[in-house]
Amino acid sequence: MEKNTSSSSSAAHVLIIPFPAQGHVTPMLSLAKLLSFSGVFTTFVNTESIHRRLSVSSDLTDRRRLRFRAVPDPLTGGADEELDFSSKFIKLQESMRSCSTEAYKKLLLTEELAGEWPPVTCVIADGILDYAIEVAGEVGIPTLVFRTSSPCCAWAFASLPSLIHHGIIPFPAECDMDEIVKGVEGMEGILRRRDLPSFMRMVKSTEDNYIKLMNGFNSKLIIGKAIIFNSFDALDPTILPIMSSYYPPIFTIGPLHLLTKFFNISNEKEQEQEPGKNPCSSSLRQEDRACMTWLDNQPDKSVIYVSFGTVTVMSPEKFIEFWYGLVNSGHRFLWAVREDMVKGKQEMEVTKEMEEGTKERGCMVEWVPQKEVLAHRAVGCFLTHSGWNSTIEGMVAGVPMICWPDLVDQMVNSRFVSDVWRIGLDMKDTCDRNIVERMVREVMEGEIALELRSSAARMADLARKSVEENGTSRVNFDSLVSYIKSIELPRGS
Ligand code: UDP
């Protein structure tokens, strides 16, 4: 049965458009399901290749209030591969604008929709999808911005002008990376230089491309009518009120995968599903379920689950350090190693020690059903790159973390995991095998392990409470639905 929320209009139609990457599609798809379940007509727009990949694991047939559409892919590859991260990202944005705008505009403006579908009344656009926000503005459709990073990271980004003002950025040539930085309101005494978003390390001058990139992220936050985060209020009691004083209304409605469970969306749709497809899945890769059987055969809280997310690429040397560290710790481990994660792995020398230690206590697969893995009773630690989805999934599961951040927002998240939320250790900027081994032992054995486990359990409890009846995220989600339903059609239709 569909949820009956108090509404001022039954004709709300939201178009949701994520940046084409796993970590963006997952939370925004959860939101799409929740909104359609709450009576809002919802169109979910992917690029064609993401749509194709998603349709392997997920049922993308149209439902009464949820439909899936696709816009053409950006042109990537070729000479662009040689560019640095910021130039590549800026070119990708330009390519999306030129390839997808026409199809996107059509979806925004077409009024001859099948059945009872009303015209689009608002857009929820990914905060880093420039063209989607701008085009919606041009055609006069109100836009809400979904920022898939953590609020603390979005705020660190937003503090760029202040960091420049305080002389923190660009980093001086010979600087102390452990020095606490000034310039991020509400994070005084928390962030060191090395904890700032990774782009900030690359900036050579205030004219740099990276500044352009960060300013782009920031300007999108204030353009929209509201900002949505996959987070919950108890995580950021200091920063959220500060952000709220600068920005449009902020809706923290996470953890979204827990909220969808609370609404029982998976069960409701089960009978309508195509066979073999999981109503809850948003995976863009084939999950290897053999690892679940392997986990079933391990003792409680004995396994370190290792994953570096969907984007991180590492050298064979770093990979070997992690591998040795895990093997030398003597603990069991399950490692998700994407086939494109180690650059130059053909030249990597796998020693007998690594092979035997893995055969005895390890399991390596390409891609796992991560939320299920984290919830498994055998998992006792999460060695993670601190992507925001992984971080919040680890919190929900109550599993202590070892953080090895690599890019962008992960630097801030890992600092908060270790020094603010105190549910893990931050291994940032090193992966020496002895340090990996030591940290694994600390999180799995002895005093520190006990402390981390109990604070991780407390965090899981806070996350769960936030989506229960009267919980903050639950209340915020209901307000978001009412807000969306109250938006008037601006086009004189
Ligand atoms: N993930 C997964 N299986 C894997 C590795 C990752 O399902 O083997 C999912 C994970 O559950 C998370 C997403 O991929 O939802 C990664 O998102 P995150 O924001 O943590 O990292 P990023 O995509 O930025 O690397």
Angle at 393 between CA 283 and CA 35, to 5 degrees: 65
Distance 389 CA to ligand 1 centre (A): 6
User: Is residue 14 classed as helix, strand or coil in its secondary structure?
Assistant: strand
- Using the predicted structure, report yes or no on whether residue 213 has a pLDDT greater than 90: no
The residue behind tokens 């689009």 is: 120
Phi, psi of 372 (to 5 degrees): -65, -40
What is the average pLDDT across 90-98?
Answer: 89
Q: Which pLDDT band holds residue 4 (cuts at 50, 70, 90)?
A: very low
Provide the whole-model pTM: 0.93
Contact 71, 100 (CB under 8 A): yes
Distance 354 CA to ligand 1 centre (A): 26
97: its two tokens: 């604008």
From 370, 386, 401, 404, mutation site for ligand 1 pocket: most ligand atoms within 8 A of C-beta = 370
Contact 282, 350 (CB under 8 A): no
- Using the predicted structure, report yes or no on whether residue 83 has a pLDDT greater than 90: no
CA–CA separation, 389 vs 150, rounded Å?
Answer: 9
Axis-axis angle for helices 239-246, 151-158 (nearest 10): 50
Buried b (16+ CB within 10 A) or exposed e, 469-484: eebbbbebbeebbebb
pLDDT of residue 312: 92
pLDDT of residue 112: 60
What confidence tens digit (pLDDT) does each residue in 115-146 have?
678 999 999 999 999 999 999 999 999 999 99
Intrachain domains 13-282+466-486 and 290-464 with the same fold: yes
CA–CA separation, 38 vs 260, rounded Å?
Answer: 11
Distance 393 CA to ligand 1 centre (A): 9
What confidence tens digit (pLDDT) does each residue in 259-271 have?
999 887 754 444 4
Name the CATH code of domain 290-464 (choices 3.40.50.10190, 2.60.40.10, 3.40.50.1100, 3.40.50.2000): 3.40.50.2000
Residue 380 Cα distances to 15, 375, 402, 416, 471, angstroms: 39, 10, 11, 20, 27
Does the C-beta of 42 come closer than 6 Å to ligand 1?
A: no
- Using the predicted structure, report yes or no on whether residue 79 has a pLDDT greater than 70: no
Distance 53 CA to ligand 1 centre (A): 15
- Residue-range domain boundaries for the chain: 13-282+466-486, 290-464
Does the C-beta of 26 come closer than 6 Å to ligand 1?
A: yes
Q: Which pLDDT band holds residue 3 (cuts at 50, 70, 90)?
A: very low
Please give the CATH number for the structural domain made up of 13-282+466-486: 3.40.50.2000
Q: Which pLDDT band holds residue 111 (cuts at 50, 70, 90)?
A: low
Q: Which pLDDT band holds residue 337 (cuts at 50, 70, 90)?
A: very high
Does the C-beta of 367 come closer than 6 Å to ligand 1?
A: yes
pLDDT of residue 271: 42
pLDDT of residue 276: 55
Does the C-beta of 335 come closer than 6 Å to ligand 1?
A: no
Atom number, ligand 1, closest to the C-alpha of residue 388: 19
* 345 secondary structure, DSSP code: G
Q: Which residues are catalytic?
A: 24, 126
Does the C-beta of 20 come closer than 6 Å to ligand 1?
A: no
Does the C-beta of 393 come closer than 6 Å to ligand 1?
A: yes
